[in-house]
Structure 1
Amino acid sequence: MMFMGEYLHTIDNKGRLIVPVKFRESLGDHFIATKGLDNCLFIFPLKEWKSFEEKLKQLPISRPNARSFVRFFFSGAAECELDKQGRILLPANLREYASLDKDVILAGVMNRIEIWDNSRWKDYSSNAEDHYAEAAESLVDLGI
């Protein structure tokens, strides 16, 4: 399963967001929304969440950074489902965390969907473009 592309959508006054048709089939009926890194939200299909969960279980609970990382993802996690119109209800705490008000970007990022405030996404994208070559160069060390 692979998510890619970016889509501009609007959150309604009840906190509902339309999920792009291209994402719905891979997402399934039930999925997990949680606080993501870089002040966005992460949406994982259940299978991907289970895989992520297994990796987090391997982190040593005795290390403060590991506990913080696991706590961050699990305390903010919520099971979500699509309604008949293809919308999800984003919990208020998650909308607040990511500063999601009205215009948002849903970005497909391999095994997950990220939801960003539109203006934050523009800032992030602009900055990322400036450092794209540097990032690519640094990843060569990882064999990519």
Structure 2
Amino acid sequence: MFLGTHTPRLDDKGRLALPAKFRSELDSGLVITKGQERCLFVFGIGEFGRLTDLLRTAPMTDRRARDYSRVFFASASNEVPDAQGRITIPQALRTYAGLTKDCVVIGANTRVEIWDAVAWQSYLDSTEQAFAEAEEEVLPGLF
């Protein structure tokens, strides 16, 4: 499980240091791909395989499933962190997410998300009230 918020910087070669607490689960390899809201999703190999299996069962006759699979897999990149725990983010993915220098890396349960720092703050500003109000709808009876 990935938790927390971290603020690494992207270097001039497009490398980003993964938070130390995430490295043990990702050091054998990972997959980076486009996520929603113009962030990047980072999956450990096992979790990416689980998602692949789920998408494989989606009906080929469902256009939304085909569209999602095309974008999800076509933008995916296999990476292995270097000895310093850095990954290279391909230029196309950096462009998609608007990544320049200041980034935010968040733990999102079974995945890691990489955001441009300004985009992340804007996202939080626009969703925190909805988060507070959605508790009963999203997690009924839990609280």
Scaled to the shorter chain, the TM-score interval is: over 0.9
In the other structure, the counterpart of 2:95 is 96
- Partner of 1:52 in structure 2? 51
Residue 134 (structure 1) shift? 2.5
| AA matched with 1:129 | E
**How far apart, in 2, do the equivalents of 1:117 and 1:45 lie?**
21
Please give the TM-score of this superposition, normalised by the length of structure 1. 0.94
Are 2:27 and 2:85, in contact at CA under 8 Å, matched by a contact in 1? no
Quick one: distance in 1 between partners of 2:58 and 2:68?
A: 9
Amino acid in structure 2 at the alignment position of 1:32: V
Partner amino acid for 2:73?
F
User: Could you list the per-position Cα deviations for residues 74-111 of structure 1 after superposition, in whole angstroms to 9, with x for gaps in the alignment?
Assistant: 01000001111111000001101101111000000101
Give structure 1 regions of 4+ aligned residues with deviation exceeding 3 angstroms: none
1:55 maps to amino acid:
L
Correspondence list, 1:1-144, <5 A: 2-140=1-139
Which amino acid is the alignment partner of residue 112 of structure 1? R
Structure 2: give runs of 5+ residues left out of the alignment.
none
| Residue ranges of structure 1 left out of the alignment (5+ in a row) | none
Q: What is the DSSP-based 3-state SS (H/G/I as helix, E as strand, rest coil) of the residue aligned with 2:114? A: strand
Give me the CA root mean square deviation.
1.3
Q: Equivalent residue of 1:85, what SS?
A: coil
Preserved contact between residue 75 and residue 93 of structure 2 (Cα < 8 Å): yes
Cα distance, 1:29 vs structure 2? 2.1
- The farther-off stretch of 41-50 and 119-128 is 119-128
Q: Partners in 2 of 1:11 and 1:140 — Cα distance?
A: 35
Distance 2:84 2:23 in 1: 11
Partner Cα separation in structure 2 for residue 108 and residue 32 of structure 1 = 15
CA distance in structure 2 between the partners assigned to 1:118 and 1:140 by the alignment: 28
**Partners of 2:22 and 2:101 in 1: CA distance:** 20
Per-residue displacement from partner, 1:39-58 (whole Å, max 9, x unpaired)? 10000000000001001111
Tell me the SS of whatever aligns to 1:10: coil
TM-score by length of 2: 0.94
- The offset of 1:140, in angstroms, is 4.1
